Structure 1
Amino acid sequence: MQKGLFKLVEEGNEKVHLDLVQLVSEKKIAELERWNSVLHDYNRLNQKMEYVQDNFEDFNKCVVGLVEAAHERGGAFSYPDHDQIMREIRRTLLNLMMSIRTLLDHMETSVKRQFGKKSEQADYLKSLTSHEFDTCFAYGFFYKLRNYVQHCSMPPLVYSENIIIKSNPSELEIKITLVRDSLLDGFTKWGAVKSHLEAAPERIDLISIVKDVMKSINNIYIKYAIETSYEDTLAAKAGILAFIGEDDSYSLEEYFIGTLMVWKDGRFDFSTKALSTGIFRKVKKLEEWAVTV
């Protein structure tokens, strides 16, 4: 059995083949697999944050779509329109809630499994989430609102379109709000958030809440990723780059470890496993974050 590093080469007329770059020892294979594993661990973490970002974008697209539709119909809508509007708002909001909770739960589980329940890293994550809960009303409120939705009811939303006739031409103002008193009456487990919720306006602006929550989630994720993944992930990237002979800007997916098995009857098997160099694009973002934190 022989193992080697291969590079994907493209020629004219869309012809593609693998060129052998060098033979690879079992010791180096083990090292490459370890680096690959580190990159995949970071990618799995990053994907959970990407799910949150995707759902945030879906929520924003929903709001933008409402504004565009409102302009088309001049601010007048029927009950079927309103029913569809509320369904779409709730759908995108629930998806965002669940992806945020999934991210936070998985980070907590991962850090305890990797470093230990009483590790500095686990304490650091707890301090990040506690800080946002204590200092950002939107974060703590959104966290509890997800529990309200899971155990009690769909969020009590009010959607309104108001024509502002003072401007020329007249404008349409879109508002999506949560009914404070319905939230307080329908749920008893607001905890430390309750006093802040009681002091909030009767109609709580949902769009502002979502934007503030995303700032908190980004802050938690970036600091957590740098604390738990930065050094090992950058070391894995550097090791693979040195092995394949590419510079720091490289992020294509052209390199493979190929294994050739020749059988006694003359048959042979050839299998390949890609080096995870495409993940370098996400690692680059991690490096940029590290400069700003």
Structure 2
Amino acid sequence: MLRIRHEVNGGPGVLCAEEVERPEAGAEEVLIRVEAVGVTLPTVRKVREGGEPVSLGGEVAGEIVALGAHVTAFAVGDRVTGLCFADAYAEFAVLNTAMASPIPDGVPAVEAVALVRSGLVARGAYEAARAKPRESVLVTAAASGVGTLALQYARAGGAARVVAAVSSADKAALVRGLGADEVVLYEDADWGAPYDVILDGVGGALLDPAVRALATGGRLVAFSSGGGTVEAYELLVRGASVIGFQMRAVALGEPALYERWLGELWQLRDAGTLRTVVHEEIPLVEAARAHTVIEQRRNLGKVVLVPGPGGA
């Protein structure tokens, strides 16, 4: 089968295609024939940082072709999606059942990849913020896979003012179409502050201006892998807080809540309340190009890798 490997040669490394044997499912895993792979920002960042080779994780969707010895919740032939932490950029991948969820009949794999993980993160971040109707909400990385859905959650949640923060003005039309009342650029002076809630999918150097944009009693939810440092004084003078959110903790630690959110996610999709945005379907062998799109902040929505037909 075809798999993409991260290879380091004294620099940030490159993504190389290789032919390898199909993996085998562990006791609590399923083996799927991959139909779509959602490229995640944490994986892109790890590759860019270089140093040591990284295993390429991502959101995968496809058909189960083999079951681990202890798997009873799924059957061969089921279509599932979920987050694969290693070797996701491949024609076949193993997926832990704790991270797997069924794809409803008739839903394309690309849509499932764009909706499920990003939608759950957007929902979880919004819940973590304890957002209330009539509050103001700012979403950073608003044109990303998670950001596009977070805007829609904020709109559906009754926010009085929904503002999208993006890297360039050419993303304004997209985010306005998804419910943003206003659009600000990262380079703007004050981001139209203050905000009751900020959902931050960027981190790093943008974390400081985001904290300074909080209103008195405001809450910032950090769900990106970008890191960053918060000045305690900035929180003190605003009586504000920063909350970290990780979807994996919910999936593994609160499975009942995870399942409820998942069911509600599909209901919102079917009702037309949430819609996915896919920037481009890129062939698996062009994974490096997919990473470049995200690194250069050119994506409008989710970047998805699509393996070719067949597989060894």
Bin of the TM-score, shorter chain as denominator length: under 0.3
Larger Rg: 1
What is the TM-score normalised by the length of structure 1? 0.22
What is the TM-score normalised by the length of structure 2? 0.21
Greater percentage in helix: 1
Structure with the larger RCO, 1 or 2 (CA within 8 Å, 6+ apart): 1
Greater percentage in strand: 2
